Structure 1
């Protein structure tokens, strides 16, 4: 039950060690003219690593993060780190934001600024991510995480609240809504063509019943096939051999950087803050959470615990929208559904104002909590 204040304070020797390791990176060679077709291009990663070592200011980023009230608590034997940013309006609706992979709580800093007047914002770090470490036992699936979020909101004294997330965070948010419908007023999910194809590929039941003779269904099936052949490699490794991958992620900052930066480059279409990306990567590096975050994906891939389907109003904000997304997601007929032409997998960083506006619309505006559906 104990909730303790938390301040990020990375020891200076760890900061110096990062710069030293980056300077001594043993770079591989690269075939000419292949671009992004075989992974992160060498010159792209060299330039980003050089900026991480000599241009990016971790201490400034640390101070910005510490401006948000942070806490830790233990739930079900696991340390859980979270931000808790209270609105100036005491009657504001509490809203839980859950990040996905490969991301972390720092993804939401711009979105928090857009929402903090209208909502009490709670941003937990998934078990095995950032400061919600170490993880001492197996079994931390989406369902178990959802139950931890429910307990966290109970400890914070919130009787009614909304949930939001994308990617893995969308799955956790949906499970919270299904397990705690008595207190959850609505669930809001962000998705995009990339996420929809990934989810339909791996979530049982999604993508079934698509008709190859229908042009839109055919496009959706083609998108799933492209995901399997071109974009699912990281999932295949982490869903089967996360520990082996962990040695690279835990020992080489260039390896950790490339692993995360590739996702941001391939799954965004609007500019994002490079320093914010490096803050996310730095949190993985300083907490040694590359391997435990990878294990979270393994746990879900080998679990049947998806929580329960939502029984509350559902909202969807689609970024980079095309007709395949609705076919793949299959939302309820009365779901709130908003399509945005630009932005993709990380809208909290790519389009925070647009995402915040959709959240306010769905949850009913400042302090109202009257979910639109």
Structure 2
């Protein structure tokens, strides 16, 4: 396995570097980007609006995490969304005096930090803030809050959109995870971004050539990821399915599931490896900015059945590493499963494709880019 070498540069040898993330309250793709950046800058502190060790990845417990004033507000834990109107203020009040390089990882507020005069701010912008732009209507409608809050919320979101648009102008350079996100950034923020695909720990996933005994899907169980379509399809087919992850959709998904569907909840990294290496293939029914779990499946040599939209268009090669379904419908998923032929996919070829998205490749590209930006200053 290739060992990660911390970033070194003649202009940054004595510089102070700060990392920023929106909030450390889950273990998702954005958090894996942050972990990879922390390996590049092992001495840099990480700033975030909130940090909950029980919900975030265990690796963050060994890091220097510095939170905003909102972290200390009473009755906020597990209800961080209550502070939404105050998050811009809190992110702007984080103090970056003395830091020469600010590297933010953001899908909402972290891009809006105010760096010190003369400092370089590089933002890895995963996507424009979903609940303010592309999913603004569904966010209000699906929020499990009283009616009077839903009535007031659009006024809050309107003000947040104005702040968010201005905040996107603050970084000196924007990087994003896919061409899909790049197009969204152009549409909503009027800026261009460089594409560097996010890191996938391919080296940690052993490639297997044996056939699996079940299908796999999982991640954050939220509505837009459309796990309900997969669960319903497998209930109709009566074929084994395993679902990992937690989220607000869990209880509803259980009501849709058949007897051969198992919900595994939150899993450790070693459990994830066992799940991917033991599956037949991975189901990816959602529109993602990129889709790290699909790459993790391919790293194990397993093909992916994906909805042919969003980031999957850049990661899944039909007939080589998986197949597309044309519409987000349980019938299309079921049809793809019935027609699936495991012998049509070469695990070695599938794995080789996944290696083009490795963590080492991500870190090398990020290091080179930051080197160039610092040299230019």
Q: Same fold (TM over 0.5)?
A: no
Q: Which has the higher contact order (CA 8 A, sep 6+)?
A: 1
TM bucket, shorter chain:
0.3 to 0.5
Question: Which structure has the larger Rg over C-alpha atoms?
Answer: 2
Superposition TM-score, scaled by structure 2 size: 0.37
